[in-house]
Structures are given as C-alpha cells and as structure tokens.
C-alpha cells in the first residue's frame, strides 16, 4: 500500500522537469495525479500512469482565474475530491542574470504573475474543494534563492514563503495545512539550465553535490502525509545544507 492510496493530487508545472518527477513519485505512492501545465502535459501524465493509478493531463494557466477554476472543477468531476495541491509552476530562467537594474517591465511582471499570483490563484480555488472534506495539504514551492534580494526570482520566492504563512492561518480552520518547500540546486537545473554559477552554488553546500528530484520529493511526501497535520505555515529547506551557512 502507498502512503497516498486513493488520494487526489494536483501538481502544477508538471509537464517537465521537477514537476514531472514529483507527479510520477506521487503516483508510485498510490495517488491519482492531475498534471497541470500551460504546456501540454499528456506525455508526462502517461509517464506517471506507469507508476501508479489514474493520472490525468490538464492544460491550465495558473495565472488565469478561470483556467484554475476549470482545473478544480475537473478534479471534482473526475474524482469528487482534492487532497493535495503542489504549487510547483514558476519561472526562473533569466531572472537572476537580469538583476534589478537590468530587468525590463515585461519580465518583472511575468515573474510576479507566475511565481506569486499563480500560487495564490490555485490556493483560492483549491481550498473550497478541500474544505468539503475538512482535509487538505498544500505545498508551495520556493527556492534557496528566497534569501536573495538582488533579483526578481529571489524576491518572488521570498514572497511565496511569507504568503504561505498567511495561507496557513486562513486555511487551518478547514483542516488544511499549507507549507513551503525550498529546494537547493537540483540535478535537473544544473544539467539543463546552463546556470553560470552552478559550480559555485554546489561549492557552497555542506553536502557537496546537487540534489536529486527524489530527495526533494521526500520533503513533499513528509509535508503531505496525513501524520503531518500539526505542521503548517512552515518552510522546509532541502538544500544540501546551503542555508545553514
């Protein structure tokens, strides 16, 4: 038996990368997974379905309220419930390099719209569905960069962590916990993003390597378990010890 047997999990930003891996791991742990992404997530859903029960692809724009509402209606129509929401969708490419002096209006606005407003929209539409059963787990995905104030990525992720605390306060009366996962540099990012400072970031870790998607998922698994009902409003940093310095 899996830890999430019979539960319904929505993972946003699930068409590729870490989100795709998270969906697969949730499925392997027994969950029905709805993979949501602006990019068509059909391939990712088929991959996740090999690991577990029913997995659905849902093309959705998390920055658009109507699109998110449609996503939650599909959860209700297909499964009649929602147990877990992973707010993983976000953007980061080019944000650190632009800094604050160099970032243009379009990129700045896009970062806040996707990284912050997108998580808020999903939270707002998920809570009423979860509240029907007085149970839910919501995890917002932040980053090790949340402690940086010199670029839009770090600033938006800092906002996500602060917003998580407010979400937890408002959702708690409905039996819903809201927490945040702040990953360090992962193998996917290091290999595929051509981060100019990847080596320096790894050197700053206490554990001198990049993280694996499975290791990040273990943090999600812990926060989403039924036994974690007294943990809410917290940020779990899974970063090889980088934030310990």
Catalytic residues: 153
Collapsed DSSP state (helix, strand, coil) of residue 13: coil
Report how far apart, in Å, the C-alpha atoms of 199 and of each of 19, 141, 151, 178, 225 are: 23, 23, 19, 33, 34
Can you give the C-alpha Rg of the chain in angstroms? 17
Helix (H, G, I), strand (E, B) or coil at 125: helix
Collapse the DSSP code of 190 into the 3-class scheme (helix H, G, I; strand E, B; otherwise coil) and give the result.
Answer: helix
What's the rounded Cα separation, in Å, for the pair 166 and 5? 29
Contact at 8 Å (CB) between 174 and 127? yes
Could you give the CA distance from residue 13 to residue 101 in angstroms, rounded to a whole number? Answer: 29
């Amino acid at each position: 038996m899996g830890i999430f047997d019979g539960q319904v999990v929505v993972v946003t930003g699930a068409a590729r990368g870490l989100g795709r891996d998270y969906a697969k791991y949730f499925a392997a742990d027994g969950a029905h997974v709805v993979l949501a992404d602006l990019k068509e997530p059909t391939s990712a859903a088929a991959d996740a379905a090999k690991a577990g029960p029913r997995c659905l692809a849902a093309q959705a724009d998390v920055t658009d309220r109507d699109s998110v509402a449609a996503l939650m209606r599909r959860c209700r129509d297909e499964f009649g419930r929602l147990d877990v929401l992973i707010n993983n969708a976000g953007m980061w490419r080019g944000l650190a390099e632009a800094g604050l002096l160099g970032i243009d209006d379009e990129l700045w606005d896009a970062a806040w719209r996707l990284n912050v407003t997108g998580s808020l929209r999903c939270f707002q539409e998920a809570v009423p569905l979860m509240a029907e059963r007085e149970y839910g787990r919501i995890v917002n995905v932040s980053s090790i960069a949340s402690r940086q104030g010199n670029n839009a990525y770090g600033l938006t992720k800092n906002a996500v962590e602060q917003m998580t605390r407010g979400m937890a306060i408002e959702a708690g009366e409905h039996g819903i916990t809201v927490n945040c996962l702040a990953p360090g540099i992962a193998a996917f990012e290091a290999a595929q993003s051509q981060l100019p400072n990847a080596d320096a970031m790894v050197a700053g870790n206490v554990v001198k390597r990049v993280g694996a998607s499975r290791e990040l998922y273990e943090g999600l698994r812990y926060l989403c378990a039924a036994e974690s009902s007294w943990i809410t409003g917290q940020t779990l940093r899974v970063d090889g010890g980088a934030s310990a310095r």
